[in-house]
Amino acid sequence: MFDLTGKVAIVTGGNGGIGKGIALGLAKQGCDIAIFARNKEKSELARNDIQKLGVKAEIIICDVADRRSVNDAVKKTSKIFGKLDILVNNAGTNIRTEEPQELTTEQWDQVIQTNLSSMHYMSSEVFPYFKSQQSGKVINIGSMTSIFGSPYASAYSASKGGVVQYTKSCALGWAKYNIQVNAILPGYIVTEMTKGFLEQYPEKEKIITDRTAAGRWGFPKDFEGTAVFLSSAASDFVTGTFIPVDGGYSVALN
């Protein structure tokens, strides 16, 4: 039921952090991986780790915030692998300020374009392949801030809130094609992005850990099981939902 042998997954931002964790989890179940990213050297390291699991992995250089780049990359991936089965919209960025109004127009646009518009570009370009085969899985990576806001991450919160609504919209629109669309909402995870957060707000580490029911921060490996479930036949009757993977942070009262 969870076997992904013979499946092909596109993972945007699959060369590090949560994206790489998901890519490795899918690969462990036999899935071939297309790493969509801009940094070739970083992607080569990720590809090597994925290939050690005995699956095919290819680097597809792509700027997911550029519709033309996305179109070209998806066509290239289909040509290389011969099929497309799973799309993981993981690529994202964040720009932090003390208060929302401090974000410049350029900073706001960059976050929204990378986190939300790219999701529409990727999903729209992959959709014809899924429709033609009458099957497909889309996993959108949101955030805890899809549920609640953040004063120092206003554009990020707005984009991630949009991820949930876009997920629901695609799930409703594409169910008739046997395409399931769901979202994962990460909590505080040890990645390069949160390293910058802790450097900017060092006092937050203990506050976050104390609120998290699991008593720790998460790691990219913690997403393997959820991603495999949402990519496999086990979730064929699951669509339009979002699953927090946050150790209980979003349901804590303190």
Question: Are the C-beta atoms of residues 56 and 34 closer than 8 Å to each other?
Answer: no
DSSP the chain: ----TT-EEEEETTTSHHHHHHHHHHHHTT-EEEEEES-HHHHHHHHHHHHTTTS-EEEEE--TT-HHHHHHHHHHHHHHHS---EEEE--------SSGGGS-HHHHHHHHIIIIIHHHHHHHHHHHHHHHHT-EEEEEE--GGGTS--TT-HHHHHHHHHHHHHHHHHHHHHGGGTEEEEEEEE-SB-SHHHHHHHHH-TTHHHHHHHHSTTSS-B-GGGGHHHHHHHHSGGGTT--S-EEEESTTGGG---
How far, in Å, CA of 123 to CA of 54, rounded?
28
Q: Please confirm, yes or no, whether 156 is among the known catalytic residues.
A: yes
How far, in Å, CA of 158 to CA of 35, rounded?
26
Catalytic pick among 121, 129, 152, 156 = 156
Question: Are the C-beta atoms of residues 195 and 96 closer than 8 Å to each other?
Answer: no
Q: Give the active site residues.
A: 156
